[in-house]
Amino acid sequence: MSLSKDDTSLKSYFVFKTGLGWCGVVSSKKGILRILMGYPSRERILRKIVAEFGRSIAKTPAKGNIADKIKRYFSGGKVSFKCVLDWSFLSPFQKKVFKASMKIPYGAVESYGSLAKKAGCPRGSRAVGGALARNPFPLVVPCHRVIRKDGSLGGFSAGGGLELKKKLLKLEGQVRNSNK
């Protein structure tokens, strides 16, 4: 993400606990800038937020809509993550990849190569993987639903890594036992 730590004047955050660890949401006036999830403690997620956005970022009370949706999703509920995102710092390619990823339905998976085609870059499966590795909006942009063409998981950069990706896929009815 190419946001400056010094540019925190309009940014705020809140953190909350779920059944799958601590989560945090960072917002600007334009919308959500970052969703963090799967952290084992409040302290670890706060350190990550400060490292990424600086110490002067403002703490706000939890905004119920997105926090409630994330908690419901982690409890096994089927949730539609429609919310306002701040896309201003993303490249045109990242926007294409993320928008294509948002069309993968709950409970479905798609390969990096297939997603690359849908994003207009048919030979760009590695580039798609790179974009998804820097996805600032996990769950809203469901990068956990993107796997390798051989059925293995690929990567996952959220706080809980591949174990969290497995849990998210299992919540959606996709059982994956290994990363091959």
Report the catalytic residues: 143
Pairing of strands 146-147, 110-111: parallel
With beta carbons less than 8 A apart as the criterion, state whether 152 and 179 touch.
yes
Q: 3-class SS at 113?
A: helix
Please list, residue by residue across 9-38, b when 16 or more beta carbons sit within 10 angstroms of its beta carbon and e when fewer do.
eebbbbbbebebbbbbbbbbeeebbbbbbb
Question: Smallest Cα–Cα separation from 122: which of 146, 156, 97?
Answer: 97
* Rounded CA separation 73/18 (Å): 10
* Rounded CA separation 75/18 (Å): 8
